[in-house]
């Protein structure tokens, strides 16, 4: 399976642990960054993962930030991506089986390494339960974005201006 992965600077070690774990299981991992502890903005990396998943360039995505809230929200702004923010295995399995989630998100400062790996494993193992009820729910979810499809950019340079400002010291903590 081909899996995109991304995070913010606060949980870099966790992203790397999940990435290594996935590779050991035989998956191809596309690491969307970041690659060091330089302070970052998680929407950049959530968008990278969300776009790859939404465009069908990867099978699934895994994202994390401190709580998982910010990065999962940014993934869900990408057309075709259905990210589920979870804090336990049962929610991860439900997200895949009932809602056909294609990105799993968790908070690296909320759940530890072992739980994050278990959430990821169970999400990947779960299968969408295709039936009329589940299909109708997924169809309703996806219809929300169809209204705005003409406005989607899918532009890999979407954050170039913000990154340039960041590098020039425009933003301050």
Which residue in 32, 65, 78, 111 is the catalytic one? 65
Pair 116, 89: CB distance under 8 Å: no
Cα 41 from Cα 51, distance rounded (Å): 16
Tokens of 170: 């425009």
Pair 108, 19: CB distance under 8 Å: no
First-last CA distance in the chain: 38
Helix (H) or strand (E) run with residue 41 in it: none
Catalytic residue at 65?
yes
DSSP string computed for 103-163: EEEEETTTS-HHHHHHHHHHHHH-----SHHHHHHHHHHHHHHHTTGGG----TTTTHHHH
**Residue positions annotated with a catalytic role:** 65
């Amino acid at each position: 399976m081909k899996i995109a992965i991304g995070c913010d600077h606060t949980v870099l070690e966790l992203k790397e642990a999940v990435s290594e774990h996935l590779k050991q299981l035989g998956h191809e991992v596309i690491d969307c960054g970041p690659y060091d502890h330089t302070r970052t903005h998680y929407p950049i990396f959530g968008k990278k993962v969300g776009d790859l998943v939404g465009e069908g360039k990867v099978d699934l995505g895994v994202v994390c930030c401190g709580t998982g809230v910010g990065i999962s929200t940014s993934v869900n702004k990408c057309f075709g991506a259905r990210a589920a923010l979870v804090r336990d295995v049962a929610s991860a399995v439900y997200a895949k089986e009932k809602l056909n989630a294609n990105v799993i998100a968790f908070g690296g400062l909320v759940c530890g390494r072992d739980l994050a790996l278990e959430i990821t494993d169970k999400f990947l193992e779960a299968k969408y339960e295709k039936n009329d009820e589940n299909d109708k729910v997924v169809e309703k979810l996806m219809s929300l974005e169809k209204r705005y499809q003409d406005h989607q950019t899918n532009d890999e340079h979407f954050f170039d201006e913000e990154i340039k400002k960041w590098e020039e010291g425009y933003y301050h903590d």
